[in-house]
A and B are shown apart, each in its own frame.
Chain A
Amino acid sequence: MSVKFLHSADWQMGMQALQAGEKAKEVRAKRFETAARVAALAKREAVDFVLLAGDLFEHHDVDDVVVRKTVAVLNDFAPIPVFVLPGNHDPLVAGGVWDRQRWQDVGKHVRLLREPTEVLVQDDVALYPSPLTQKQSRLDPTAWIPPRGEADRRIRIGIAHGALDVLPEDVNFPIAPTRAAEVGLDYLALGDWHGFRQSGRTVYPGTMEQTSFSEKDPGNVVVVEIAHAGAEPVVSKHRVGQLVWSEHRPTLQDVTDVENLRTLLIQTGPQATPLSSQILRVTPQIAPEASPVVLTELQSLRKELIEGACFIDWPEEALALAAAADVVLPEGVLADVDFDLAAILGGKIPEGPGREMASADPTVVQEARALIRRLATEVAG
């Protein structure tokens, strides 16, 4: 009577990946590769069926080629049945992605769960889907699930998309955290949160491929085994995601800090995530007293990361603005100008001709100071 199934969600196919900059296309393409890996995993694990708990597609307007390729990936699951639940990104609406001509090419083993009604997967396994029909709501989509009957000895699995009502702020499609227990579900397969989270019988597998910098423990699917009705589900997490997004705001004083940053970002070892699979955002905070060598090393590290990483968001100007205190300006007009700039930056009104520029934007003033130093550095004394 046992059942084994694969639970995933939030594939977000066709996502825009705005944070990935000019690598957005590649990042989008990676998701198809990861989805194929999920299909391979499902076959390897010989699961009875697959549950995709919402947000299969990022948006109803995703390109036709995205739908086509997603359908191709889902067809790869055959003959394993795949149950797809409309989520808040792809709710069941007229003219939505589920009405697309391309979607009609999906195989018969894939079933779109359109109605909140019981679906018998096997004689002893019942599915209780809560498909979404709009993008936002304050209603609990799982409220309809009927409680277990006294004589009901089937394995009951709920599938829904929404946020567990545990956060203090208002959430979209709030789901009662006690739903599984209240209605006698053996497992509640959820989607919406992109990081893995398990709360008893209620599980978020997270997105199978990370989608932004702020996600915690994404890139997984879960394979669930339930021995019989009432048994504890055995949930095993499987890493399938290829890219790792990480954000760093290191404070750098000396070269050692740069080295540490390098070590952190460019990992080695068998467990290390290769640089080519990393999407990085780096916002270094360079201490004013940092030496020019630090800047030089940082520039070198930045160059290395640009060449090696999948994508890196590290503006060049972040380094340019770092003031080099050691530059000595020759006496004369330049020294006077620099004096005025320093005064303005310090919130003072310079005497002499510089007073006209006292209200200049501090970042512009910094830029002017950096320029004068850079030019002074270029002209050897």
Chain B
Amino acid sequence: MILEEIEVGKWRGYRETHVFRFQAGINLLVGRNEAGKSTLFEVLTRALFDRHNSKTEEVRAMQPIGTSLGPEVTIQFSVAGTRHKVVKRFLQNAKSEFYSERQGKWEMEHEGDQADAHLREVLRGEATTRTAARPEHRGLAQALWYLQSDGAIPEKMWNEGVRQGLQGLVQSVATSPRERAILERVEKAYQEYWTETGRIKTNSPLGLLQAEIPEIEKNLATLQGKAKTVEGYRTDLEAFHAEEVQKAVDIKKAKDDLTESSARVQAAEAHERERGLKESAKTEAAQKVHLHQKDLTQIDEKQKKVQERRTEIKNLEDALSETATDARQEATASEHHARHWKKVLEPVLKGLEAELGAFHSLERLRKMEKDRARLEKHLEKIAGINAQIQARKTERDALVAPDDKEWKRFGIASNHLIVLQAKVDASAIRVAFEWSGKERKVETQPSLRTSEDAEYIVTEPTEFQIEGVGKVRVRSGASSLEDLLTQRDATEQDVRQVLTRFGVADADAVATLHERGRELDRTLATLKKSLDEANGTEPGAEEELARTKRGIEEETRGISTLPPDVLQQGGQWIRDQIAAKELQKENQTRAIAEEQKAEKMASHKHLELVEARQGTSNKLAERKAEIHTHEEGITEILQTYGTIDQLKKCLAASEEAARMATAAHDALLSGYEEKVVIPKRLHEQAHGRVRELEKQIGDSRIKIATTRARIDAATEQGNYSQRADLEIEVERKKRRLEVLQRRADGTKLLHDLVAAHEKQRSSELSGPVQSLANRWLAILTDDNYDTLRIDEALRPAGVHVARYRADLPLASLSHGTQEQVVVLLRLAIGVLVSGEERNLVVIDDRLVNADPLRMKRLCLILQEAAETCQIVIATCNDTPYAGLSAQIVRVPADGNKVEVRA
């Protein structure tokens, strides 16, 4: 590809459209830093390798800063002698148009995605889907264009790029486009089956089949498993049927055994019945013996008891007699005590009590009289207080005086009047006359007050009649004065009313009335308090007095039995008498109590003896009744036998019968085990066996039914035909798998063979590349390094130092020398791939570190390379390239559209 022209606009710094033209040989792209040199290479790579509708970040970054313009570019180039033009716009109204020149006219051959694809084909680039084109997508250009944006020599990229470049290299030296097209299809066919890592693509038909078949086989295995299960059921069913048949045979035999044992059991039962009869007889005989023994025993016992009771009766009768005597004695003693205290002691006591009563009455009488005197005095006092109260009350009712409230109101009003008056006076107009000469007489209409300073106080319109002068009219003060006057008059009226009401002339009189009223109230209060106190000391004094008088009357009657001399005695004598009588009374009372106690004890003892006697009588009766009962019992028992001797005879007979019955029963017990127990047991066992077999047969039938049901259920699912369908599907898919696998393997074989041959060719090519690069390296380094070590991937590995005959790894060289080595290598590749057609080599400012001598030598090399390929070198300074026959393409910094000068 030979680059001819780049027209760019709205692209980073190239806001306006710029045109840059290139020649087929060396082109120096000269511009200052950030002039846009690298931008031009970006224009070239994006135009050739990116999709026009790409919206990646890298593409967006191409927009001029602060704009949303759509970067545009038109590139003209020629390939294999045909000129082409590509017009591309990104982002805004994105477009891509590929033109070819036919007979002097541009004819559009492709547009849109097709144009993009066609462009990529020019340098065997690769399409990208989601990202911007990277160096590895540039095909041959990755090997030939050494751009700043690619950074230093990254090994991975170099590998990929060179590998791609190698493919491009090989393809570029391939003899025909047809081969290239076929090789592309080989690669495509390979990619249909295989991933980059050499595995079958999971989403390819082969991959899908590989995934599907095991799944189907798994399902088939499941169905086959189910079929096996059903077979298992059938096998089980066979076994259950066989089991059922066997059980039928067994149960028949068991039933036969049962029938046989039934006959033996019948015989055993007859023997059993016989034994039962004998046992019953034996039991009966024993019972008879027992009965006779019991009766005899009972008679003996009863007789013993009768004897015992008779002895007891005798003892009880003796005790009874003794108790009766004692009871009579106690009754007599009790009567004696009762007579004594009732007849003798009690009357004495009564006499003492009567005397005591009289003395107490006398004592009480004397007290009551004292009380009467006191009470009468008290009542007199209360009457006096009441009289006082009444008098004061009368006086108070007659007095017309203001109460406290009225007095207070009057006081306020009076004070207020004074204040108002003072205000009026203060507000009033004061008129004073100062006579020069004689004092004249002044009359006022209405009359006015004068102050202490003989000032007339004018509070209302007033006419002054001045003797010898005339009249002077004086108006009063302002409306406030009128208000004050009004208030004063009203207040004055109130005050007057009060005075009038109480019939006094002034406030002092009112005060006197008020004070008098208060004094009377206080006196009344005091008198009432005294009255209350008096009533408090003797509450109910009148009732008390009445009671006392009644009491005196009664006590007076009480002392009527006392002799007159006693009535004359003093209080102490009376009290002494009372004390003596009290003592006597006490002694008498005690004596009576003792007699009563003795009486009670004797009576109680008597009762006890009576009860004891009663008890003994009862026991006596009981014993007699018991004897009677026993005797009757004996008689009853003997009714059956007659006499005791006869009973004894019966007993002997029954004992004999029992002995015989036992002997007969025991005789039957020998052989019992064999005749009865064993046959019964065998019969029971046979029965059990039959039952067991019937149950087993039932179980077998259940198992058979269950297994049949399982088989039915399993076969209802339609597994047989499903299995067939799955087998068919597996077979079909396996056959298809085989075919696809063979195809995939064939594709891989072809792909690998192609790659192997291409690699061999590439390796073969590396010779010429190395040879050329070696020569140039020697020139560049003045034979210091005579060999460039290149690996089979055309990657520089190191240099050979001629002088020391040793290799130096690339990393040991200076950065500048490394870059120069890479430039040489790219130039060599470029020369070799430009056999039939010139290809473009781009060097983006990679020789800045070359010293002048190296630069000179590099120019020679560049010139030589330019005989075969087109070279574009970006640089800030064109001076070092002065020796080159190069076209200078200036990259403007000011953004103006500039024509290129040759």
Contact = CB atoms under 8 A, between A and B. Distances in A.
Contact of A353 (B175, B238, B721, B760): B760
B757 interface: yes
Interface in A99-118: 99-101
B545 interface: no
Given A64-B716, A336-B757, A337-B750, A99 B721 contact: no
B227 interface: yes
Given A16-B723, A21-B728, A334-B179, A368 B185 contact: no
A379 B180 CA distance: 10
Contacts of A232: none
Contacts of B732: 21-22
Interface string A1-25: 0000000000000101110111011
A103 B404 CA distance: 133
Contacts of A341: 749-750, 753
B758 interface: yes
A14 B757 contact: no
A180 to B, nearest CB: 33
B752 to A, nearest CB: 7
Interface in B32-72: none
Interface string B722-749: 0111011001100100010011011101
Interface stretch (A191-199, A210-218, A284-292, A356-364): A356-364
Contacts of A25: 721, 725
Contact of A330 (B179, B716, B745, B753): B179
A378 B749 CA distance: 20
A381 B175 contact: no
B183 interface: yes
Nearest to A65: B718
A79 interface: no
B715 A100 contact: yes
A331 B746 contact: no
Contacts of A353: 753, 756-757, 759-760
A22 B728 contact: yes
B749 A334 contact: no
A332 B743 contact: no
Q: Which of A60, A93, A331, A368 has the most CB of B within 10 A?
A: A368
A361 B749 CA distance: 10
A341 B721 CA distance: 46
A71 to B, nearest CB: 14
Given A16-B723, A381-B178, A94 B238 contact: yes
A317 interface: yes
B720 A14 contact: yes
B754 interface: yes
Contacts of A336: 757
A14 B721 CA distance: 7
A381 B724 CA distance: 50
B242 to A, nearest CB: 9
B185 A378 contact: yes
B757 A379 contact: no
Interface stretch (A139-147, A262-270, A369-377): A369-377
A315 B739 contact: yes
Contact of A367 (B174, B728, B746): B746
Contacts of B867: none
B189 interface: yes
Q: How large is the interface on B (under 10, 10 to 19, 20 to 34, 35 or more residues)?
A: 35 or more
A372 B724 contact: no
B237 interface: yes
Nearest to A336: B757
B181 A379 contact: yes
A264 to B, nearest CB: 24
Contacts of B731: 18
A371 B175 contact: no
Contact of B745 (A99, A332, A361, A379): A361
B754 A333 contact: yes
Given A95-B711, A330-B175, A352-B760, A63 B234 contact: no
Contacts of B185: 375, 378-379
A341 B745 CA distance: 13
A18 B731 CA distance: 9
A146 to B, nearest CB: 26
A333 B742 contact: no
Given A24-B725, A356-B756, A95 B174 contact: no
Interface in B194-209: none
B241 to A, nearest CB: 5
Contacts of B227: 61
Q: Which of A62, A96, A367 has the most CB of B within 10 A?
A: A367
Contacts of A64: 712, 715-716, 718
B719 interface: yes
Nearest to B190: A371
Q: Which of B233, B721, B742, B758 has the most CB of A within 10 A?
A: B721
A356 B749 CA distance: 10
Contacts of B759: 353
Given A317-B739, A337-B753, A353-B757, A18 B724 contact: yes
A363 B753 CA distance: 16
B832 to A, nearest CB: 17
Given A330-B175, A356-B756, A60 B234 contact: yes
Interface string A284-324: 00000000000000000000000000000001110000000
B708 interface: yes
A331 B174 CA distance: 9
Contacts of B234: 60, 93-96
A356 B724 CA distance: 44
B721 A367 contact: no
A368 B745 CA distance: 8
Nearest to A60: B234
A59 B720 contact: yes
A62 B712 CA distance: 11
Nearest to A341: B753
A28 B747 contact: no
Interface in B220-248: 227, 230, 233-234, 237-238, 240-241
B597 to A, nearest CB: 117
Nearest to B751: A368
Contact of A333 (B714, B720, B757): B757
A341 B176 CA distance: 21
A225 interface: no
A341 B757 CA distance: 12
A367 B716 contact: no
A334 B183 contact: yes
Contact of A371 (B716, B718, B720, B750): B750
A331 B175 contact: yes
A276 interface: no
A365 interface: yes
Contacts of A62: 715, 720-721
B712 A100 contact: yes
Nearest to A94: B237
A226 B712 CA distance: 41
A186 interface: no
Nearest to B230: A61
5 contacts: A18-B727, A94-B240, A341-B749, A375-B182, A381-B178
Interface of B: 170, 174-176, 178-179, 181-183, 185-186, 189, 227, 230, 233-234, 237-238, 240-241, 704, 707-708, 711-712, 714-716, 718-721, 723-725, 727-728, 731-732, 735, 739, 742-743, 745-747, 749-750, 752-754, 756-761
**4 tightest A-B CB contacts, nearest first:** A367-B746, A16-B724, A353-B756, A94-B237
Interface of A: 14, 16-18, 20-22, 24-25, 28, 59-66, 93-96, 99-101, 315-317, 329-334, 336-337, 340-341, 352-354, 356-357, 360-361, 363-368, 370-372, 375-376, 378-379, 381
Given A24-B724, A61-B227, A334-B754, 18 more contacts: A16-B723, A17-B724, A25-B725, A60-B715, A63-B720, A94-B241, A333-B174, A333-B757, A341-B749, A354-B753, A361-B745, A363-B742, A365-B746, A366-B746, A367-B746, A368-B750, A375-B186, A379-B178
